[in-house]
A and B are shown apart, each in its own frame.
Chain A
Amino acid sequence: AQSVTQPDIHITVSEGASLELRCNYSYGATPYLFWYVQSPGQGLQLLLKYFSGDTLVQGIKGFEAEFKRSQSSFNLRKPSVHWSDAAEYFCAVANDYKLSFGAGTTVTVRA
């Protein structure tokens, strides 16, 4: 089964600075990959997804992600972080019609 790993448990970034969250997926055919965001005590919201085609994917809230097969990665980026981006971010991969999630990365935004 495919799986994803998020190497960073917690990241702190200054407001206005750029953000990059890492996600690595296990070996397999071209995976279906996703990024979700979760505010405290809430459900998850889909930021973006990659199925095939253009390896740079644009999402909501100004986020983008790049699929790199050579590195087995699907990293999430945002050029300029806002205080409202403080949340937990999950990378996910499709597995037999279901989603498998990484452990998550918590983002703290400092003024």
Chain B
Amino acid sequence: DIQLTQSPSTLSASVGDRITITCRASQTVSSWLAWYQQKPGKSPKVLIYQASKVESGVPSRFSGSGSGTEFTLTISSLQPDDFATYYCQQYNNYWTFGQGTKVEI
């Protein structure tokens, strides 16, 4: 099984900050990695797929990069609506998620 480890688990930030979340895979997943945003009581929403492709309708402040075993999600200027939990997901071999990163004020 491919394990995904996100860091940090919790991130305290302010509106306007640039933040980066890291996702490391236990073995290569090539570029088959997605990022999701989940708000309390809601279902996840995809932000990024294939490591760096931004899903339609997602604001341009969200970007993804990486390949192989190390990936990052960057929010260039944090907005009030961005305070949520973020998950990475690999789909190279079955599907697994990271443990999540909570972005809080």
Q: Do A and B come from one complex?
A: no
By a beta-carbon cutoff of 8 Å, the part of chain B in contact with chain A is none
